[in-house]
Chains A and B, each alone.
Chain A
Protein backbone atom coordinates (compact mmCIF):
# COMPACT_ATOMS: atom_id res chain seq x y z
CA UNK A 1 0.00 0.00 0.00
CA UNK A 2 1.00 3.58 -0.50
CA UNK A 3 1.10 4.30 3.20
CA UNK A 4 3.96 1.93 3.83
CA UNK A 5 6.26 4.11 1.79
CA UNK A 6 5.15 7.48 3.04
CA UNK A 7 5.06 6.54 6.70
CA UNK A 8 8.49 4.99 6.83
CA UNK A 9 10.53 6.88 9.37
CA UNK A 10 13.94 6.26 7.91
CA UNK A 11 14.97 9.79 8.75
CA UNK A 12 14.52 9.42 12.50
CA UNK A 13 17.74 10.09 14.36
CA UNK A 14 18.06 6.72 16.11
CA UNK A 15 18.23 4.89 12.81
CA UNK A 16 21.18 6.89 11.54
CA UNK A 17 24.28 4.82 11.20
CA UNK A 18 26.94 5.18 13.84
CA UNK A 19 29.77 7.43 12.76
CA UNK A 20 33.10 6.10 14.01
CA UNK A 21 34.89 9.38 13.36
CA UNK A 22 33.44 10.67 16.61
CA UNK A 23 35.75 8.27 18.47
CA UNK A 24 38.98 9.79 17.12
CA UNK A 25 39.26 12.49 19.76
CA UNK A 26 38.58 10.26 22.81
CA UNK A 27 41.00 7.62 21.49
CA UNK A 28 43.71 10.24 20.98
CA UNK A 29 43.10 11.61 24.45
CA UNK A 30 43.38 8.13 25.96
CA UNK A 31 46.65 7.55 24.11
CA UNK A 32 48.20 10.81 25.33
CA UNK A 33 46.98 10.08 28.85
CA UNK A 34 48.54 6.61 28.82
CA UNK A 35 51.80 7.98 27.37
CA UNK A 36 52.38 10.89 29.74
CA UNK A 37 51.65 8.74 32.78
CA UNK A 38 53.78 5.82 31.56
CA UNK A 39 56.72 8.12 30.81
CA UNK A 40 56.38 9.73 34.22
CA UNK A 41 55.95 13.26 32.84
CA UNK A 42 53.25 13.99 35.39
CA UNK A 43 52.70 13.29 39.06
CA UNK A 44 50.83 9.99 38.90
CA UNK A 45 49.36 10.66 42.34
CA UNK A 46 47.38 13.52 40.84
CA UNK A 47 46.95 12.05 37.39
CA UNK A 48 46.84 8.28 37.70
CA UNK A 49 47.34 6.14 34.58
CA UNK A 50 44.30 4.78 32.76
CA UNK A 51 44.99 1.22 33.89
CA UNK A 52 44.79 2.36 37.54
CA UNK A 53 41.33 3.80 36.85
CA UNK A 54 40.40 0.58 35.11
CA UNK A 55 41.51 -1.66 37.95
CA UNK A 56 39.71 0.59 40.46
CA UNK A 57 36.64 0.32 38.30
CA UNK A 58 36.85 -3.47 38.16
CA UNK A 59 37.27 -3.86 41.90
CA UNK A 60 34.67 -1.19 42.70
CA UNK A 61 32.05 -2.67 40.41
CA UNK A 62 32.34 -5.93 42.35
CA UNK A 63 31.54 -4.25 45.66
CA UNK A 64 28.12 -3.90 47.26
CA UNK A 65 28.92 -0.21 47.79
CA UNK A 66 28.82 0.27 44.02
CA UNK A 67 25.40 -1.26 43.49
CA UNK A 68 23.91 0.34 46.55
CA UNK A 69 25.36 3.69 45.57
CA UNK A 70 24.24 3.57 41.96
CA UNK A 71 20.85 2.20 42.95
CA UNK A 72 20.34 4.88 45.57
CA UNK A 73 21.33 7.65 43.17
CA UNK A 74 19.07 6.38 40.40
CA UNK A 75 16.17 5.91 42.77
CA UNK A 76 16.47 9.46 44.09
CA UNK A 77 16.89 10.79 40.59
CA UNK A 78 13.83 9.08 39.19
CA UNK A 79 11.66 9.80 42.24
CA UNK A 80 12.53 13.50 42.07
CA UNK A 81 12.11 13.55 38.29
CA UNK A 82 8.70 11.88 38.47
CA UNK A 83 7.37 14.18 41.19
CA UNK A 84 8.85 17.34 39.73
CA UNK A 85 7.83 16.74 36.14
CA UNK A 86 4.30 15.67 37.03
CA UNK A 87 3.89 18.82 39.07
CA UNK A 88 5.47 20.78 36.22
CA UNK A 89 3.03 19.52 33.58
CA UNK A 90 0.01 20.20 35.79
CA UNK A 91 1.27 23.61 36.87
CA UNK A 92 2.44 24.74 33.43
CA UNK A 93 -0.72 23.58 31.67
CA UNK A 94 -2.94 25.27 34.27
CA UNK A 95 -0.92 28.47 34.00
CA UNK A 96 -1.31 28.40 30.24
CA UNK A 97 -4.98 27.52 30.13
CA UNK A 98 -6.43 29.62 32.92
CA UNK A 99 -6.56 33.38 32.76
CA UNK A 100 -6.77 33.68 36.54
CA UNK A 101 -3.86 31.37 37.21
CA UNK A 102 -1.88 33.25 34.59
CA UNK A 103 -2.55 36.59 36.23
CA UNK A 104 -2.19 35.58 39.86
CA UNK A 105 0.56 32.97 39.79
CA UNK A 106 2.33 33.88 36.54
CA UNK A 107 4.36 36.92 37.70
CA UNK A 108 5.55 35.16 40.86
CA UNK A 109 6.53 32.06 38.91
CA UNK A 110 8.42 34.02 36.29
CA UNK A 111 10.33 35.84 39.03
CA UNK A 112 11.12 32.79 41.16
CA UNK A 113 12.48 30.85 38.20
CA UNK A 114 15.43 33.25 38.14
CA UNK A 115 16.69 31.95 41.48
CA UNK A 116 19.61 29.72 40.57
CA UNK A 117 18.72 26.13 41.32
CA UNK A 118 21.55 25.49 43.77
CA UNK A 119 20.59 28.60 45.71
CA UNK A 120 17.61 26.62 47.00
CA UNK A 121 19.81 24.00 48.67
CA UNK A 122 20.64 25.84 51.92
CA UNK A 123 16.97 26.56 52.54
CA UNK A 124 15.88 23.02 51.70
CA UNK A 125 18.51 21.45 53.96
CA UNK A 126 17.58 23.83 56.75
CA UNK A 127 14.02 22.55 56.55
CA UNK A 128 14.54 18.91 55.70
CA UNK A 129 18.09 18.14 56.77
CA UNK A 130 20.61 16.17 54.71
CA UNK A 131 18.49 13.09 54.08
CA UNK A 132 16.64 11.67 51.12
CA UNK A 133 13.63 13.95 51.56
CA UNK A 134 15.76 17.06 51.03
CA UNK A 135 17.53 15.53 48.04
CA UNK A 136 14.37 14.33 46.34
CA UNK A 137 12.74 17.72 46.85
CA UNK A 138 15.75 19.45 45.35
CA UNK A 139 15.83 17.06 42.37
CA UNK A 140 12.09 17.53 41.93
CA UNK A 141 12.53 21.29 41.86
CA UNK A 142 15.21 20.97 39.20
CA UNK A 143 12.85 18.90 37.03
CA UNK A 144 9.86 21.14 37.74
CA UNK A 145 11.05 24.31 36.03
CA UNK A 146 11.87 23.06 32.53
CA UNK A 147 8.68 20.96 32.39
CA UNK A 148 6.47 23.77 33.68
CA UNK A 149 8.00 26.22 31.19
CA UNK A 150 7.65 23.71 28.36
CA UNK A 151 4.01 22.99 29.17
CA UNK A 152 3.26 26.72 29.44
CA UNK A 153 4.90 27.45 26.10
CA UNK A 154 3.19 24.47 24.48
CA UNK A 155 -0.27 25.48 25.66
CA UNK A 156 0.29 29.05 24.50
CA UNK A 157 1.29 27.72 21.11
CA UNK A 158 -2.04 26.03 20.48
CA UNK A 159 -3.82 27.92 17.74
CA UNK A 160 -7.18 29.52 18.32
CA UNK A 161 -8.32 27.94 15.06
CA UNK A 162 -7.80 24.46 16.52
CA UNK A 163 -9.80 25.44 19.57
CA UNK A 164 -12.63 26.38 17.23
CA UNK A 165 -12.51 22.90 15.69
CA UNK A 166 -12.93 21.49 19.19
CA UNK A 167 -15.93 23.75 19.75
CA UNK A 168 -17.53 22.74 16.46
CA UNK A 169 -17.31 19.07 17.43
CA UNK A 170 -18.60 19.69 20.93
CA UNK A 171 -15.50 18.71 22.93
CA UNK A 172 -16.12 18.66 26.67
CA UNK A 173 -13.48 19.85 29.14
CA UNK A 174 -11.83 16.47 29.52
CA UNK A 175 -11.78 15.94 25.75
CA UNK A 176 -10.37 19.40 25.30
CA UNK A 177 -7.54 18.58 27.69
CA UNK A 178 -6.68 15.12 26.39
CA UNK A 179 -7.57 15.45 22.71
CA UNK A 180 -6.32 18.95 22.02
CA UNK A 181 -4.35 20.75 24.71
CA UNK A 182 -1.98 18.00 25.86
CA UNK A 183 -1.24 16.53 22.42
CA UNK A 184 -0.96 20.02 20.98
CA UNK A 185 1.52 21.01 23.66
CA UNK A 186 3.33 17.67 23.63
CA UNK A 187 6.40 18.75 21.59
CA UNK A 188 7.24 21.45 24.13
CA UNK A 189 6.28 19.26 27.09
CA UNK A 190 8.56 16.50 25.83
CA UNK A 191 11.38 18.97 25.26
CA UNK A 192 10.87 20.12 28.85
CA UNK A 193 10.87 16.53 30.12
CA UNK A 194 14.07 15.82 28.21
CA UNK A 195 15.76 18.82 29.79
CA UNK A 196 14.32 17.85 33.17
CA UNK A 197 15.85 14.37 32.91
CA UNK A 198 19.28 15.89 32.44
CA UNK A 199 18.80 18.58 35.10
CA UNK A 200 17.54 15.99 37.57
CA UNK A 201 20.67 13.90 37.16
CA UNK A 202 22.88 16.97 37.61
CA UNK A 203 20.85 17.84 40.70
CA UNK A 204 21.18 14.28 42.02
CA UNK A 205 24.95 14.40 41.90
CA UNK A 206 25.05 18.00 43.10
CA UNK A 207 22.87 17.20 46.09
CA UNK A 208 25.06 14.22 46.98
CA UNK A 209 28.18 16.38 46.79
CA UNK A 210 26.76 19.21 48.82
CA UNK A 211 24.61 17.26 51.28
CA UNK A 212 27.31 14.68 51.86
CA UNK A 213 27.59 11.93 54.47
CA UNK A 214 23.99 10.98 54.16
CA UNK A 215 23.56 7.45 52.89
CA UNK A 216 24.83 5.78 49.75
CA UNK A 217 25.04 7.40 46.35
CA UNK A 218 27.36 7.61 43.40
CA UNK A 219 28.21 11.24 44.18
CA UNK A 220 28.81 10.24 47.75
CA UNK A 221 31.30 7.59 46.64
CA UNK A 222 33.20 10.21 44.66
CA UNK A 223 33.33 12.53 47.67
CA UNK A 224 34.68 9.66 49.79
CA UNK A 225 37.23 8.92 47.11
CA UNK A 226 38.38 12.51 47.26
CA UNK A 227 38.65 12.40 51.05
CA UNK A 228 40.81 9.26 50.80
CA UNK A 229 42.83 10.85 47.98
CA UNK A 230 41.75 7.97 45.74
CA UNK A 231 42.00 9.81 42.43
CA UNK A 232 41.27 6.74 40.27
CA UNK A 233 37.98 6.33 42.12
CA UNK A 234 37.14 10.01 41.60
CA UNK A 235 37.82 9.70 37.87
CA UNK A 236 35.85 6.47 37.59
CA UNK A 237 32.94 8.12 39.42
CA UNK A 238 32.99 11.01 37.00
CA UNK A 239 32.97 8.71 34.02
CA UNK A 240 30.11 6.72 35.46
CA UNK A 241 28.08 9.87 36.13
CA UNK A 242 28.67 11.02 32.57
CA UNK A 243 27.75 7.60 31.22
CA UNK A 244 24.44 7.53 33.10
CA UNK A 245 23.66 11.05 31.87
CA UNK A 246 24.42 10.08 28.28
CA UNK A 247 22.24 6.99 28.63
CA UNK A 248 19.32 9.08 29.91
CA UNK A 249 19.80 11.43 27.00
CA UNK A 250 19.70 8.55 24.52
CA UNK A 251 16.55 7.10 26.05
CA UNK A 252 14.89 10.52 25.99
CA UNK A 253 15.84 11.00 22.35
CA UNK A 254 14.25 7.72 21.37
CA UNK A 255 11.04 8.27 23.31
CA UNK A 256 10.75 11.78 21.88
CA UNK A 257 11.26 10.62 18.31
CA UNK A 258 8.69 7.88 18.78
CA UNK A 259 6.03 10.09 20.33
CA UNK A 260 6.54 12.93 17.89
CA UNK A 261 6.58 10.84 14.73
CA UNK A 262 3.59 12.85 13.52
CA UNK A 263 5.82 15.84 13.05
CA UNK A 264 7.41 16.56 9.73
CA UNK A 265 10.79 14.86 9.85
CA UNK A 266 12.21 17.70 7.77
CA UNK A 267 11.72 20.15 10.62
Chain B
Protein backbone atom coordinates (compact mmCIF):
# COMPACT_ATOMS: atom_id res chain seq x y z
CA UNK B 1 0.00 0.00 0.00
CA UNK B 2 2.46 2.58 1.13
CA UNK B 3 5.04 3.32 -1.50
CA UNK B 4 7.68 5.87 -0.75
CA UNK B 5 7.48 9.32 -2.27
CA UNK B 6 10.18 11.61 -3.60
CA UNK B 7 10.06 14.89 -1.78
CA UNK B 8 11.60 17.93 -3.41
CA UNK B 9 11.90 21.30 -1.74
CA UNK B 10 13.14 24.05 -4.04
CA UNK B 11 14.14 27.57 -2.99
CA UNK B 12 11.61 27.59 -0.20
CA UNK B 13 11.07 30.87 1.62
CA UNK B 14 8.55 31.42 4.36
CA UNK B 15 7.78 34.44 6.45
CA UNK B 16 5.26 35.20 9.15
CA UNK B 17 3.92 38.65 9.84
CA UNK B 18 4.41 39.67 13.44
CA UNK B 19 2.89 43.03 14.48
CA UNK B 20 2.82 44.17 10.86
CA UNK B 21 6.49 43.38 10.36
CA UNK B 22 7.52 40.52 8.11
CA UNK B 23 9.50 37.92 10.07
CA UNK B 24 11.53 35.66 7.78
CA UNK B 25 11.43 32.16 9.23
CA UNK B 26 12.83 30.01 6.43
CA UNK B 27 15.20 31.24 3.77
CA UNK B 28 16.17 29.52 0.59
CA UNK B 29 15.68 25.94 1.71
CA UNK B 30 16.45 23.39 -1.01
CA UNK B 31 16.39 19.74 -0.17
CA UNK B 32 15.74 16.66 -2.24
CA UNK B 33 14.73 13.53 -0.42
CA UNK B 34 14.86 10.19 -2.20
CA UNK B 35 12.04 7.65 -1.89
CA UNK B 36 12.50 5.64 1.24
CA UNK B 37 15.16 7.91 2.64
CA UNK B 38 15.39 8.83 6.32
CA UNK B 39 16.39 12.45 6.88
CA UNK B 40 17.06 13.91 10.31
CA UNK B 41 16.87 17.65 10.92
CA UNK B 42 18.65 19.27 13.84
CA UNK B 43 18.92 22.91 14.73
CA UNK B 44 18.57 25.27 17.66
CA UNK B 45 15.18 26.24 19.01
CA UNK B 46 13.27 28.66 16.80
CA UNK B 47 15.17 27.99 13.60
CA UNK B 48 12.01 26.95 11.77
CA UNK B 49 12.05 23.15 11.96
CA UNK B 50 8.40 22.85 12.93
CA UNK B 51 7.49 25.43 10.31
CA UNK B 52 9.23 23.36 7.64
CA UNK B 53 7.21 20.28 8.65
CA UNK B 54 3.98 22.32 8.70
CA UNK B 55 4.70 23.35 5.11
CA UNK B 56 5.38 19.79 3.99
CA UNK B 57 2.28 18.38 5.71
CA UNK B 58 0.20 21.10 4.03
CA UNK B 59 -1.01 23.13 7.01
CA UNK B 60 0.56 26.34 5.74
CA UNK B 61 -0.34 27.56 2.26
CA UNK B 62 1.62 30.80 1.99
CA UNK B 63 5.21 30.43 0.94
CA UNK B 64 7.55 31.13 -1.94
CA UNK B 65 9.27 28.34 -3.80
CA UNK B 66 8.17 24.81 -4.46
CA UNK B 67 7.38 21.74 -2.41
CA UNK B 68 6.83 18.72 -4.65
CA UNK B 69 5.84 15.17 -3.77
CA UNK B 70 6.49 12.81 -6.69
CA UNK B 71 6.70 15.89 -8.93
CA UNK B 72 3.33 17.27 -7.84
CA UNK B 73 2.96 20.44 -5.85
CA UNK B 74 1.67 19.84 -2.34
CA UNK B 75 -1.76 21.39 -1.85
CA UNK B 76 -3.34 20.97 1.56
CA UNK B 77 -3.15 17.89 3.73
CA UNK B 78 -3.42 14.32 2.55
CA UNK B 79 -3.58 10.88 4.11
CA UNK B 80 -0.40 10.08 2.14
CA UNK B 81 1.52 12.30 4.54
CA UNK B 82 1.49 11.63 8.25
CA UNK B 83 2.77 13.77 11.10
CA UNK B 84 3.57 13.39 14.76
CA UNK B 85 3.33 16.87 16.23
CA UNK B 86 5.66 18.24 18.84
CA UNK B 87 2.81 18.01 21.37
CA UNK B 88 0.72 14.84 21.28
CA UNK B 89 -2.56 16.60 20.33
CA UNK B 90 -4.78 13.69 21.28
CA UNK B 91 -8.50 14.30 21.63
CA UNK B 92 -9.12 14.09 25.38
CA UNK B 93 -12.68 12.76 24.95
CA UNK B 94 -11.52 9.69 23.03
CA UNK B 95 -9.92 6.56 24.44
CA UNK B 96 -6.53 5.36 23.26
CA UNK B 97 -8.02 3.07 20.61
CA UNK B 98 -10.47 5.74 19.46
CA UNK B 99 -7.67 8.28 19.17
CA UNK B 100 -5.62 5.90 17.04
CA UNK B 101 -8.80 5.22 15.06
CA UNK B 102 -9.00 8.92 14.16
CA UNK B 103 -6.13 8.22 11.78
CA UNK B 104 -8.31 5.70 9.92
CA UNK B 105 -11.54 7.70 9.98
CA UNK B 106 -11.31 8.37 6.26
CA UNK B 107 -9.36 5.27 5.25
CA UNK B 108 -10.74 2.80 2.74
CA UNK B 109 -11.02 -0.15 5.14
CA UNK B 110 -13.84 -2.20 6.57
CA UNK B 111 -14.60 -1.66 10.26
CA UNK B 112 -13.07 -5.05 11.06
CA UNK B 113 -9.87 -4.19 9.21
CA UNK B 114 -9.74 -0.85 10.97
CA UNK B 115 -10.10 -2.49 14.36
CA UNK B 116 -7.35 -4.96 13.53
CA UNK B 117 -4.97 -2.27 12.26
CA UNK B 118 -5.62 -0.09 15.31
CA UNK B 119 -4.94 -3.02 17.65
CA UNK B 120 -1.71 -3.84 15.84
CA UNK B 121 -0.45 -0.30 16.13
CA UNK B 122 -1.36 -0.03 19.79
CA UNK B 123 0.68 -3.16 20.38
CA UNK B 124 3.47 -1.74 18.25
CA UNK B 125 3.93 1.27 20.52
CA UNK B 126 3.69 -0.96 23.58
CA UNK B 127 0.32 0.16 24.91
CA UNK B 128 -1.56 -3.14 24.96
CA UNK B 129 -3.92 -3.08 27.91
CA UNK B 130 -4.49 0.66 27.70
CA UNK B 131 -6.96 0.56 24.79
CA UNK B 132 -9.80 2.01 26.82
CA UNK B 133 -7.81 4.52 28.86
CA UNK B 134 -8.41 8.23 28.36
CA UNK B 135 -5.52 10.63 27.66
CA UNK B 136 -5.70 12.15 31.15
CA UNK B 137 -4.83 8.74 32.53
CA UNK B 138 -1.63 8.50 30.47
CA UNK B 139 1.83 9.89 31.08
CA UNK B 140 3.30 12.35 28.58
CA UNK B 141 5.40 9.62 27.00
CA UNK B 142 2.45 7.25 26.68
CA UNK B 143 0.40 10.01 25.05
CA UNK B 144 3.17 10.62 22.56
CA UNK B 145 3.25 6.92 21.73
CA UNK B 146 -0.49 7.04 21.01
CA UNK B 147 0.17 9.99 18.71
CA UNK B 148 2.85 7.96 16.92
CA UNK B 149 0.43 5.07 16.47
CA UNK B 150 -2.19 7.49 15.13
CA UNK B 151 0.26 8.81 12.54
CA UNK B 152 1.44 5.35 11.49
CA UNK B 153 -1.91 3.64 11.30
CA UNK B 154 -2.54 5.08 7.83
CA UNK B 155 0.74 3.76 6.46
CA UNK B 156 1.66 7.13 4.96
CA UNK B 157 4.18 7.48 2.12
CA UNK B 158 5.91 10.28 3.94
CA UNK B 159 6.10 10.39 7.72
CA UNK B 160 7.04 13.62 9.47
CA UNK B 161 8.10 13.51 13.10
CA UNK B 162 8.54 16.66 15.18
CA UNK B 163 10.65 15.75 18.20
CA UNK B 164 8.46 12.73 18.88
CA UNK B 165 10.63 11.24 21.58
CA UNK B 166 11.42 14.42 23.48
CA UNK B 167 9.13 13.56 26.37
CA UNK B 168 10.26 9.97 26.80
CA UNK B 169 12.65 8.36 29.24
CA UNK B 170 15.92 7.05 27.83
CA UNK B 171 14.83 3.41 27.79
CA UNK B 172 11.50 3.94 26.04
CA UNK B 173 13.18 6.39 23.73
CA UNK B 174 15.79 3.94 22.49
CA UNK B 175 13.15 1.23 22.21
CA UNK B 176 10.95 3.46 20.08
CA UNK B 177 13.89 4.58 17.97
CA UNK B 178 14.49 0.96 17.08
CA UNK B 179 10.78 0.44 16.45
CA UNK B 180 10.69 3.48 14.19
CA UNK B 181 13.67 2.18 12.25
CA UNK B 182 12.01 -1.21 11.93
CA UNK B 183 8.72 0.28 10.70
CA UNK B 184 10.53 2.57 8.29
CA UNK B 185 12.48 -0.35 6.83
CA UNK B 186 9.45 -2.65 6.68
CA UNK B 187 7.14 -0.09 5.08
CA UNK B 188 9.75 1.53 2.88
CA UNK B 189 8.39 4.97 3.71
CA UNK B 190 10.16 8.31 3.44
CA UNK B 191 10.79 9.78 6.88
CA UNK B 192 11.76 13.22 8.15
CA UNK B 193 12.63 13.46 11.81
CA UNK B 194 13.13 16.74 13.64
CA UNK B 195 15.06 16.32 16.85
CA UNK B 196 17.22 18.14 19.38
CA UNK B 197 19.14 14.99 20.07
CA UNK B 198 22.16 14.74 17.77
CA UNK B 199 22.76 11.11 18.67
CA UNK B 200 19.20 10.25 17.70
CA UNK B 201 19.63 12.15 14.43
CA UNK B 202 22.76 10.21 13.54
CA UNK B 203 21.35 6.88 14.75
CA UNK B 204 18.28 7.11 12.52
CA UNK B 205 19.17 9.35 9.59
CA UNK B 206 20.66 8.53 6.21
CA UNK B 207 21.50 12.21 6.26
CA UNK B 208 21.49 14.83 8.99
CA UNK B 209 20.41 18.33 7.97
CA UNK B 210 21.85 20.98 10.27
CA UNK B 211 19.86 24.21 10.33
CA UNK B 212 20.85 27.61 11.63
CA UNK B 213 18.49 30.29 12.89
CA UNK B 214 17.24 33.74 11.96
CA UNK B 215 16.25 33.21 9.33
CA UNK B 216 16.19 29.43 9.23
CA UNK B 217 18.64 28.13 6.68
CA UNK B 218 20.37 24.86 5.95
CA UNK B 219 23.89 25.14 7.28
CA UNK B 220 25.18 21.78 6.27
CA UNK B 221 24.06 18.29 5.34
CA UNK B 222 26.02 15.45 6.90
CA UNK B 223 25.88 11.98 5.33
CA UNK B 224 25.67 8.98 7.62
CA UNK B 225 27.05 6.12 5.49
CA UNK B 226 26.86 3.53 8.27
CA UNK B 227 25.10 0.18 7.97
CA UNK B 228 22.05 -0.46 10.14
CA UNK B 229 21.43 -1.24 12.94
CA UNK B 230 24.02 1.19 14.05
CA UNK B 231 26.28 0.82 17.00
CA UNK B 232 26.16 3.99 19.05
CA UNK B 233 29.42 3.07 20.73
CA UNK B 234 31.43 2.62 17.54
CA UNK B 235 34.22 4.97 16.55
CA UNK B 236 32.67 5.81 13.18
CA UNK B 237 29.38 6.69 14.88
CA UNK B 238 30.91 9.07 17.38
CA UNK B 239 33.02 10.69 14.68
CA UNK B 240 29.93 11.60 12.70
CA UNK B 241 28.18 12.69 15.87
CA UNK B 242 31.08 14.98 16.76
CA UNK B 243 31.08 16.33 13.23
CA UNK B 244 27.42 17.33 13.55
CA UNK B 245 27.96 18.72 17.04
CA UNK B 246 30.82 20.90 15.81
CA UNK B 247 28.29 22.77 13.65
CA UNK B 248 26.58 23.95 16.80
CA UNK B 249 29.66 25.20 18.61
CA UNK B 250 29.67 28.57 16.85
CA UNK B 251 26.03 29.28 17.61
CA UNK B 252 26.00 31.75 20.49
CA UNK B 253 23.53 30.55 23.08
CA UNK B 254 22.39 34.06 23.97
CA UNK B 255 20.83 33.96 20.51
CA UNK B 256 18.13 31.56 21.53
CA UNK B 257 14.89 33.40 21.92
CA UNK B 258 11.50 32.41 23.10
CA UNK B 259 9.16 30.89 20.59
CA UNK B 260 5.91 32.80 20.69
CA UNK B 261 3.05 30.64 21.83
CA UNK B 262 0.88 29.67 18.89
CA UNK B 263 -1.96 28.34 20.93
CA UNK B 264 -4.50 30.95 21.84
CA UNK B 265 -8.08 30.71 22.93
CA UNK B 266 -10.94 32.75 21.60
CA UNK B 267 -12.57 32.92 18.23
CA UNK B 268 -9.37 32.95 16.26
CA UNK B 269 -10.06 30.09 13.91
CA UNK B 270 -13.58 30.77 12.66
CA UNK B 271 -14.53 29.58 9.22
CA UNK B 272 -14.90 32.24 6.57
CA UNK B 273 -18.63 31.58 6.17
Give residues in A with beta carbon < 8 Å to B.
1-3, 6-7, 96-100, 102, 156-165, 167-172, 175, 179-180, 183-184, 186, 261-264
Contact = CB atoms under 8 A, between A and B. Distances in A.
B89 A102 contact: no
B105 A97 contact: no
Contacts of A99: 270-273
Interface stretch (B9-17, B170-178, B239-247, B260-268): B260-268
Contacts of A162: 89, 91
B93 interface: yes
B266 A179 contact: no
A160 B268 CA distance: 8
Contacts of B234: none
23 contacts: A2-B129, A3-B130, A3-B131, A3-B133, A96-B270, A98-B271, A99-B270, A102-B270, A156-B266, A159-B263, A161-B263, A163-B269, A165-B89, A167-B59, A168-B57, A169-B103, A170-B79, A172-B106, A175-B105, A180-B91, A184-B91, A184-B93, A263-B136
Contacts of A163: 269
Contacts, number: 102
Q: Dominant SS at the B interface?
A: loop
A156 B269 CA distance: 8
Given A98-B271, A183-B93, A161 B87 contact: yes
A99 B267 CA distance: 9
Which one of A163, A164, A179 has the greatest number of beta carbons of chain B within 10 Å? A164
A158 B131 CA distance: 25
Nearest to A172: B106
B273 A100 contact: yes
Q: Dominant SS at the A interface?
A: helix
Contacts of A3: 129-133
Which one of B83, B105, B268 has the greatest number of beta carbons of chain A within 10 Å? B105
A261 B131 CA distance: 16
Interface of B: 57-59, 76-79, 82-83, 85, 87, 89, 91-95, 102-103, 105-106, 129-137, 262-273
Contact of B263 (A1, A6, A160, A183): A160
B77 to A, nearest CB: 5
Nearest to B86: A161
Nearest to A163: B269
Nearest to A186: B93
Contacts of B134: 7, 261-262
A262 B82 CA distance: 26
B268 to A, nearest CB: 7
